[in-house]
C-alpha cells in the first residue's frame, strides 16, 4: 500500500531548515529509499515517495510556519540538482502508477505556485549541478530560478530525445505560458539531450539569474532574504502543527474522525460519507473541523486513486447538522484577515481541484440528514451526477436539503478559473442567474432540480432501484472511455495553464506512456542505460 501520510521526522529524501523568515528545503534522495524494489534512485532522481515528502513539506510550511516568507529549494549534491523521475521506476511501473505519479507531482507543483500567489511564501530554486526533466520542472514551478555559472551546470528537458516520452509534470506548458520562452527556442531546448547552460540559459529565459560560483551561496541567501522582507517573524502568529490523522484501515473500510469509506468490490464502488461537526467549537488548530475534514478527505481520495485501481465509482454522501456546517463555512468566507482561516479556505480550493482531477466517476447523493452546505455543497457541483431524495424516508419527517453560500461564488475556483456554478452553466446565463438566486438559503429537492443544481430527484420508492441500475450500467462501461469522457466534460470554458497541464499535457503523456515506443520491450524507457538504441515504430498516428 502507498501511504501519503508522513512528517519531517520521517523524511528520507528532503532536509528542511530555517533561518528566520527563510526556509531551506534541500533534496537529498536516499538511493535505496524507493517505494518499490527493482530500481536505485541515483543522482537525486525521484519516485512518488520523494514527491509525497515534498508535498507534505509545502503543506506544513503554510500551516506550521507562517513566519516563512521565502523557501529555497536546493540540493545537497553539488554535482546534480535533480536528475528527474527515476527511469528504472518508470520502466517497470504499471501504467496506472506512471499516470498517478505524474498527476500527483503536477498537483504538488501547483501547490507551490498557489503558496506563492496566495500565502506570501515565495519559492526560489538554487541550481547547482544539472537539473534535468522533472528536476527542472520543479524549478519551473518556483518564482525565481538561480543557476550557478560554473561552466558545467545546466537545465534540460531530455524526455523526447532520451526516453520517447514528454516532460509530464508541466514542463512544456510552463516554458511558454509561464516563462514566455519563445516557442522555436523551446522546441530546440526540448530536443537537446545535454541541455543548456550559462549565458544562453539566461538569454532564453530558462533561468532568471546566473551567479558566479564564488558568490552563489551568499547571493542565494541574500535573494531569499529580499523575497521574504515583507514577512516580519516577530509579529507573525504561531503556526498550527499538522498532527497525525486518526485513521483505521480495514479490508473494505477506511475510518477517520470525519470521513468513513466503505468499499464494495463486487460493484466496484466506494462510498465516502462525510460526517458533519459535533459542535461549533472553533479551536483554530489541527482539530478545527474544516481542516481536519479536508486532510482526511484528501487522504481518502489519494488512497483510492493509487491503491484501489478497480474501484471506478466514488459515491459521495454526508451526514450532520447543516446549521453547524453553515457556521464553519461563514468563518472561512469572512475570515477577517486571519491567516489560518485563509489557509484552510485555500486548502479546500486545492482539495476540490484534486477531486475534479480524479479519474473516477463521482456520484453525489443528497438525502435526508445530509449537510451539503457551503464548501461541502461544492461536492454536489463537482460530481459527474448528483441525485436528491424528494420527500422523506419511511417513518421519518426530515426532508433532504442543500444550501449554496457565497463560498460558491468565488472562494473556490476550479482549474479553469471559473466557479463550479459558472462552469456548470457555461453558456447559459439564464440558468446561472436562476442558480445564483438559490444562494444563501436552504432549498429542497424541487427547487434544487428547478435551479439545475442536481441531475435528478427521486422519491423513496424509486431511490434504491434507480441508483442500483445506474451504478450497474456505469460499471459495465470501459474505464478508459469513462476517464476520457469525464475529463472532457468537467472543464468547459476558458483554458488556463493549469487546465492545459492536467487536460492536454497529462492526457498526451498518459497516451505516450502506453505506446510501445516508450514502454515496449524495445522502447526508450526499457532500453535506457543498456547501451542499446530504442527501436521506434515510425508511423505518426
Q: Is residue 195 part of a domain?
A: yes
In a shared domain, residues 298 and 189: no
In a shared domain, residues 201 and 279: no
Q: What integer pLDDT is reported at residue 233 of this predicted model? A: 63
Q: Is residue 536 part of a domain?
A: no
Q: Which of 231, 265, 299 is the last residue of a domain?
A: 231
Q: Which of 443, 473, 489 is the last residue of a domain?
A: 489
In a shared domain, residues 312 and 398: yes
Q: Is residue 310 part of a domain?
A: yes
In a shared domain, residues 220 and 298: no
**Stretch 144-162: mean pLDDT, rounded?**
97
pLDDT in tens, 241-297: 999 999 999 999 999 999 999 999 999 999 999 999 999 888 899 999 999 999 999
Three-state SS string over 265-294 comes to CCCCEEEEEEECCCCCCCCCCCCCHHHHHH
Q: Please name which of 308, 258, 299, 224 lies closest in space to residue 479, comparing C-alpha atoms.
A: 308
Q: What integer pLDDT is reported at residue 495 of this predicted model? A: 94
Q: What integer pLDDT is reported at residue 246 of this predicted model? A: 93
Number of domains the chain is built from = 2
Q: Is residue 517 part of a domain?
A: no
In a shared domain, residues 216 and 264: no
In a shared domain, residues 190 and 125: yes
In a shared domain, residues 37 and 120: yes
In a shared domain, residues 253 and 162: no
Half-sphere CA count of 171, side-chain side, radius 13 A = 29
Q: What integer pLDDT is reported at residue 263 of this predicted model? A: 98
Q: What integer pLDDT is reported at residue 78 of this predicted model? A: 84
Q: Is residue 524 pLDDT above 80, yes or no?
A: yes
**Stretch 316-333: mean pLDDT, rounded?**
97
Chain centre distance of CA 183: 27
Cα–Cα distance, 480 to 181 (Å, whole number): 34
Cα–Cα distance, 284 to 225 (Å, whole number): 29
Q: What integer pLDDT is reported at residue 232 of this predicted model? A: 67
In a shared domain, residues 381 and 435: yes
**Pair 528, 162: CB distance under 8 Å:** yes
Q: What are phi and psi of 348, to 5 degrees?
A: -65, -35
pLDDT in tens, 209-240: 999 999 999 999 999 999 998 776 666 789 99
Q: What integer pLDDT is reported at residue 472 of this predicted model? A: 96
Q: Is residue 295 part of a domain?
A: yes
Q: What integer pLDDT is reported at residue 47 of this predicted model? A: 97
Residue spans of beta strands (DSSP E) within 96-143: 122-127, 130-132
Q: Is residue 242 part of a domain?
A: no
Q: Is residue 278 part of a domain?
A: yes
In a shared domain, residues 480 and 387: yes
Q: What integer pLDDT is reported at residue 305 of this predicted model? A: 97
* 364: its cell numbers: 453525489
**Stretch 459-469: mean pLDDT, rounded?**
96
**H/E element, 249:** strand 247-249
In a shared domain, residues 324 and 209: no
Q: What integer pLDDT is reported at residue 504 of this predicted model? A: 82
pLDDT in tens, 25-81: 999 999 999 999 999 999 999 999 999 999 999 999 999 999 999 999 999 998 999
Residue spans of beta strands (DSSP E) within 157-201: 196-197
Average pLDDT over the chain, rounded to whole? 95
Q: Measure Cα distances from 77 to 43, 83, 126, 157 in Å.
A: 8, 11, 12, 20
pLDDT in tens, 127-138: 999 999 999 999
Which residues is 18 bridged to in the sheet? Answer: 23
Cα–Cα distance, 18 to 63 (Å, whole number): 15
Strands 130-132 and 154-156, sheet pairing: parallel
Chain centre distance of CA 235: 31
pLDDT in tens, 378-422: 999 999 999 999 999 998 899 999 999 999 999 999 999 999 999
Instruction: State the CATH number of the domain containing residue 90.
Output: 3.90.226.10
Rg, C-alpha atoms of the chain: 24
Cα–Cα distance, 378 to 38 (Å, whole number): 42
Range of the structural domain that residue 78 is part of: 8-231
Q: Is residue 533 part of a domain?
A: no
Q: What integer pLDDT is reported at residue 234 of this predicted model? A: 61
In a shared domain, residues 108 and 18: yes
Cα–Cα distance, 382 to 490 (Å, whole number): 8
Amino acid at each position: 500500500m502507498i501511504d501519503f501520510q508522513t512528517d519531517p521526522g520521517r523524511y528520507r529524501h528532503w532536509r528542511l531548515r530555517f533561518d528566520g523568515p527563510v526556509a531551506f528545503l534541500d533534496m537529498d534522495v536516499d538511493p535505496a529509499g524507493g517505494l518499490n524494489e527493482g530500481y536505485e534512485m541515483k543522482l537525486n532522481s525521484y519516485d512518488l515517495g520523494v514527491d509525497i515528502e515534498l508535498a507534505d513539506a509545502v503543506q506544513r510550511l503554510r500551516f506550521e510556519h507562517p513566519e516563512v516568507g521565502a523557501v529555497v529549494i536546493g540540493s545537497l549534491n553539488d554535482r546534480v540538482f535533480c536528475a528527474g523521475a527515476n527511469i528504472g521506476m518508470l520502466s517497470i511501473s504499471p501504467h496506472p502508477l506512471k499516470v498517478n505519479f505524474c498527476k500527483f507531482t503536477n498537483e504538488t507543483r501547483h501547490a507551490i505556485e498557489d503558496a506563492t500567489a496566495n500565502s506570501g511564501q515565495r519559492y526560489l530554486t538554487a541550481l547547482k549541478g544539472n537539473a534535468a526533466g522533472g528536476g527542472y520542472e520543479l524549478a519551473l514551478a518556483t518564482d525565481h530560478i538561480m543557476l550557478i555559472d560554473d561552466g558545467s551546470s545546466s537545465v534540460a528537458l531530455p524526455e523526447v530525445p532520451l526516453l520517447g516520452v514528454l516532460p509530464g509534470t508541466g514542463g512544456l506548458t510552463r516554458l511558454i505560458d509561464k516563462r514566455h520562452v519563445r516557442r522555436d527556442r523551446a522546441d530546440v531546448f526540448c530536443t537537446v539531450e545535454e541541455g543548456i547552460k550559462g549565458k544562453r540559459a539566461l538569454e532564453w529565459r530558462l533561468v532568471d539569474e546566473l551567479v558566479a560560483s564564488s558568490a552563489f551561496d551568499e547571493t542565494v541567501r541574500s535573494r531569499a532574504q529580499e523575497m521574504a522582507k515583507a514577512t516580519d517573524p516577530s509579529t507573525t502568529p504561531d503556526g498550527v502543527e499538522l498532527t497525525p490523522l486518526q485513521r483505521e484501515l480495514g479490508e473494505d473500510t477506511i475510518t477517520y474522525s470525519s470521513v468513513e469509506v466503505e468499499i464494495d468490490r463486487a460493484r466496484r464502488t466506494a462510498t465516502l460519507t462525510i460526517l458533519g461537526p459535533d459542535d461549533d467549537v472553533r479551536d483554530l488548530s489541527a482539530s478545527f473541523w474544516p481542516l481536519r475534514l479536508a486532510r482526511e478527505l484528501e487522504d481518502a481520495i489519494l488512497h483510492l486513486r493509487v491503491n484501489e485501481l478497480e474501484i471506478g465509482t466514488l459515491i459521495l454522501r454526508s451526514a450532520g447538522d447543516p446549521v453547524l456546517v453553515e457556521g464553519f463555512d461563514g468563518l472561512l468566507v469572512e475570515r477577517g484577515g486571519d491567516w489560518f482561516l485563509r489557509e484552510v479556505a485555500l486548502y479546500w480550493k486545492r482539495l476540490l481541484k484534486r477531486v475534479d482531477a480524479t479519474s473516477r466517476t463521482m456520484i453525489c447523493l443528497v438525502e435526508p440528514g445530509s449537510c451539503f452546505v457551503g464548501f461541502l455543497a461544492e461536492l454536489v457541483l463537482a460530481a459527474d451526477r448528483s441525485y436528491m431524495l424528494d420527500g422523506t424516508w419511511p417513518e421519518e419527517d426530515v426532508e433532504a436539503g442543500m444550501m449554496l453560500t457565497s463560498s460558491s461564488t468565488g472562494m473556490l475556483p476550479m482549474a479553469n478559473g471559473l466557479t463550479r456554478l459558472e462552469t456548470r452553466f457555461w453558456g447559459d446565463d439564464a440558468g446561472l442567474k436562476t442558480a445564483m438566486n438559490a444562494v444563501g438559503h436552504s432549498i429542497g429537492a424541487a427547487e434544487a432540480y428547478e435551479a439545475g443544481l442536481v441531475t435528478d430527484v427521486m422519491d423513496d420508492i424509486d431511490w434504491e432501484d434507480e441508483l442500483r441500475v445506474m451504478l450497474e450500467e456505469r460499471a459495465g462501461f470501459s474505464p478508459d472511455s469513462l476517464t476520457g469522457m469525464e475529463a472532457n466534460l468537467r472543464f468547459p470554458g476558458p483554458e488556463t495553464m493549469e487546465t492545459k497541464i492536467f487536460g492536454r499535457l497529462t492526457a498526451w503523456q498518459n497516451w505516450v506512456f502506453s505506446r510501445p515506443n516508450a514502454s515496449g520491450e524495445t522502447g526508450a524507457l526499457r532500453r535506457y542505460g543498456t547501451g542499446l538504441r530504442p527501436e521506434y515504430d515510425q508511423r505518426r498516428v
